[in-house]
Structure 1
Amino acid sequence: MNAFRQYFEDNPEIFAALVAAIAIVGGLVGSVIGAKIQANGGRDQAAAAREAAQIAAEAQRVANLWTVRQVQLADFVHGVREVQRIQARFYIQDSSDGALAAQLDDAEQVVSRKAAEIALVAPAAVVAAAAEVREGLMDESVNAFAVGSVFYVRHLLDLRAVSDNSWEVAAAEQAIEAVEEYLRARDQDDASVRATAQRRAYDAVREVTGLPGVLVADVLPALTTRVSEMAVERNRCRQNIEDKVNRFIAVAREMLRSEDDVAPTVPAQRRWWQRAAA
């Protein structure tokens, strides 16, 4: 050790050159290490930026999907209520001109389209619930077509039968009696007897109700059915729809997390250094 020291003391120019060389090498090593650290830091920042962009994009996608679902589900329920509103009108007005049937068909087409849209973006439970609602609507539409007009005409006859106007009361009672006679006459072999009874019932009902002939002719065979009896089936169909709509709303609210009062959030994602450590 002393020999090295003596050597450098005797040759100061060599010692100076060695110090300079060490300084240069140290600087180079420091630069290389610094550049590597900086490069690694840049890559980490870029990875973090990409992950942040992916998280933001996923959050936006989820938010957009939530909004689309919410709008489609609300439109579906609104469409169902419109179908029900039109169905109810079969029981309270003349539908013989086909206008109500056309309106009902249009409203059902809207519900059908909304159900198709829901099928593309909603979970299976919501799609199944929507299908059940449509089945319930179909049952009530069939019932409305089948007995709506009968219900309407029979209701008018019953109202006339309890009217304050004595003529209306007598005319309504005669009409109901004529309808019952016509139904009994249909079992007769004599065609003329059947035709006479049918004509008498037709004229009596038209006179007291003032309804179009095509409507009266269509409902004559079923007019002896009491409104209360027809109302039982109607109420069954309506309750069936309500139960299915309530079920649909329940699963829809669960999907939308309505009880949380917030839009769905993107699940937490681990950062790159967390994934690396794992």
Structure 2
Amino acid sequence: MGKRKLGHESNPVDLASPNPIFYVVAEVPIDVIKHHRTCWLHVLAYLHAHKMKMSRQRIRRLQLTAPCLLGTSNFPRRKRSERGVKCKIAISKQKKKLNSGEFECYLENLWRSFSEDKKTCFTYLDSLWFNLYLKKSKRANVLTWIKKKHIFSKKYVLVPIVCWGHWSLLIFCHFNENLQSNTKTPCMLLLDSLEMANPRRLEADIRKFVFDIYKAEDRPETRELISKIPLLVPKVPQQTNGEECGNFVLYFINLFVEGAPENFSIDSYPYFVSSSLLPGLLYAVF
């Protein structure tokens, strides 16, 4: 009998196989887990023991909605709404840096707020995929997952990036067009709310990432053509402290999707954001 799978999301995680996300489970004695209040750690330990699978999306939701209380004396009651925990809270109250689970939760809610007409031109990648791609052992898996997103049928592809604890946003524009097109020029935008961190440091990895995506899709474009896709780093509003980068990426996504033109023009970028905007406007989006 094959291993059971939880949920219907794509890319389920095999809870019986080695994976960094489950190291914390292995480090806690099972008798301790067995007797403490139910949390995401407890649930994953149970599923791991029963050789079950769960999607990464559901794991993140567990981490958000069922925090681990090991080692604490407080056992607060969690209020449940009719539709579960509300992720779309005011980001102005969010003082700490967003982790990947929180970011994905906010992004899912933001995505649902866009009209269907807007979303037909867009797709977005999981915020952990770029970071996973940088690990050779995970690269083939990431390229397979991206292939299922059909990015070459979309005008715009949003690629949230989190590297070295910092968030930025990569956007593929007009990858559905011929690389030699004169009217709809394929290009990439890299939006970073911390310019002093030198966004260009990611360029080599981004270009290898893009080339491997084209190669995995068996596209006819040559390496030379792919290497000439412009990578633009526009000036955008900057964060005021080290904890806001994830919030700014959500802000940029909202502005870009709401204002995306039929044809993106290199000559007029960044049409979607003004550096004169007050960072406080970030919080009004949510």
More strand by share: 2
Task: Provide TM-score, normalisation by structure 2.
Answer: 0.20
TM-score, scaled relative to structure 1: 0.20
